[in-house]
């Protein structure tokens, strides 16, 4: 079997309540992105003038009395950015954030598959709010510099980042191709310094091939705008009528566009609900399959792990509720909210949580994740193990299930379930 090498080196274990993001590779693919609505009015709503009087009072006091009137701190754009940042942070929502005019154009490219950065996947540790590296892209600047999964960001260009959010950290780490960034990482009890030259990184959105025993295999790394077209092309190239089984690998996939998730889900669900959006004001929207079912006449397995998030969970949940596939792997990340990207008139933008999403059976998987039909743990301890298909317990479980109905050795299988966690 000549399975394509995995795109990412896996960490030993992920915490499902952590925030996973390809922040230095593909912006903030934290999960589903909902198409932004019309630009908000540029005038203050009626009746808020008195509420905003303290804001203007502080602004004028700074302008008139701050001790260093020529300092960078009085740059008007910085003051405005700080005010917007504070307003978004006051929501206490880890998936909402503000990108300033310099950062937003870079971040908004995340789903185009070509990014300037250092090439790591990160998460926020729930116990400390420190930002830890989950995995490092093969051949990336981070790998070449010697950065490892498990390293924790301590400083960027000499600035302490222990109190920074993921978005703030990304704004400091990402930058133009060829420029360098100085990183100090906490590795165990030691601080280790790195100089990393940023690069233009092309992210393969999809990997595919036909495995032994005529099993089709497609790995989707992100739900970009071309995800469905790429899946269609990959399956067509396999001569699907000659396949005896199909594996759809969503491991490590952090999500992406909501529209792409609906399109991909519709490829495997013939009809019925794909998701339900709950907008929090009593309004719901039931979104069904769009009638583009591929009609794969074979057993299908979906592989997931603890880094499968948001759009990945949406698709896996829809396929599980409709009995369109058998889910194998680990309980998924647990992100059940929808965000919109909204450009601002200053050239910046915000990412704002606008809805919750529910599976077709109306389960909200937030903080719970999708529980596979068969839980199979796999915690590789080396790069060699992580990229060797023969040692991939989850892949081997899927192959065994599709070829002869067997499951892996008992020590791998934790339990059998047929419901979504938290239902």
Q: Which residues are catalytic?
A: 310, 321, 335
The position carrying tokens 């990959």 is 234
- Provide, for the chain, the percentages of residues in helix, strand and coil under a 3-state DSSP scheme, each rounded to the nearest 5: 25, 30, 45
Q: How far apart are CA 122 and CA 134, in angstroms?
A: 5
Question: In this structure, is the dihedral angle defined by the CA atoms of residues 23, 29, 30 and 34, taken in order, positive or negative?
Answer: positive
Nearest to 260 by CA among 372, 118, 110: 110
The position carrying tokens 């490892």 is 148
Pairing mode, if any, of strands 199-202 and 326-329? unpaired
Torsion of CA 59, 60, 66, 68, to 10 degrees: 90
383-392 contact pairs (CB < 8 A, 24+): 383/9, 386/6, 386/9, 386/10, 387/5, 387/6, 387/9, 389/1, 389/3, 390/1
Contact status, residue 95 vs residue 20, Cβ threshold 8 Å? no
In the three-class reduction of DSSP (H, G, I as helix; E, B as strand; rest coil), residue 72 is classed as helix
Nearest to 368 by CA among 318, 419, 297, 293: 419
């Amino acid at each position: 079997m000549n399975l394509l090498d995995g795109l990412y080196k896996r960490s030993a274990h992920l915490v499902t309540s952590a925030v996973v993001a390809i922040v230095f590779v593909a912006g903030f693919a934290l999960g589903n992105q909902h198409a932004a609505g019309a630009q908000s009015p540029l005038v203050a709503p009626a009746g808020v003038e008195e509420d905003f009087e303290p804001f203007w009072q502080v602004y004028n006091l700074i302008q008139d009395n701050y001790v260093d009137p020529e300092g960078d701190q009085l740059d008007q754009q910085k003051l405005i950015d700080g005010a917007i940042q504070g307003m978004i942070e006051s929501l206490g929502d880890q998936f909402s954030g503000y990108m300033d005019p310099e950062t937003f154009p870079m971040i908004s490219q995340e789903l185009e598959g070509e990014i300037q950065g250092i090439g790591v996947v990160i998460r926020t540790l729930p116990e400390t709010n420190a930002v830890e590296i989950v995995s490092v892209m093969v051949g990336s600047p981070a790998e070449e510099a010697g950065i490892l999964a498990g390293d924790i960001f301590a400083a960027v260009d000499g600035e302490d980042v222990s109190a920074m959010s993921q978005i703030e950290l990304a704004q400091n780490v990402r930058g133009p191709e060829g420029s360098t960034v100085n990183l100090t990482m906490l590795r165990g009890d030691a601080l280790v310094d790195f100089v990393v030259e940023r690069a233009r990184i092309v992210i393969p959105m999809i990997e595919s091939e036909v495995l032994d025993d005529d099993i089709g295999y497609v790995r989707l790394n992100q739900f970009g705008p071309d995800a469905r077209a790429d899946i269609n092309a990959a399956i067509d190239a396999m001569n699907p009528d000659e396949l005896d089984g199909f594996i759809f690998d969503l491991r490590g996939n952090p999500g992406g566009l909501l529209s792409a998730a609906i399109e991909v889900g519709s490829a495997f669900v013939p009809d019925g609900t794909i998701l339900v959006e709950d907008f929090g004001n009593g309004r719901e929207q039931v979104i069904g399959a769009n009638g583009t079912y591929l009609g794969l006449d074979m057993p299908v397995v979906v592989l997931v792990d603890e880094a499968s998030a948001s759009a990945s969970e949406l698709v896996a949940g829809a396929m599980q509720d409709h009995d369109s596939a058998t889910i194998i792997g680990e309980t998924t990340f647990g992100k059940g909210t929808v965000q919109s990207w909204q450009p601002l008139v200053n050239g910046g933008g915000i990412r704002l949580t606008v809805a919750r999403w529910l599976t077709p059976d109306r389960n909200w998987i937030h903080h719970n994740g999708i529980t596979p039909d068969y839980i199979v743990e796999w915690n590789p301890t080396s790069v060699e193990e992580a990229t060797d298909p023969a040692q991939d317990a989850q892949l081997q479980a899927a192959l065994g299930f599709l070829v002869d109905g067997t499951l892996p050795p008992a020590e791998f299988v934790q339990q059998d379930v047929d419901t979504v966690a938290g239902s």
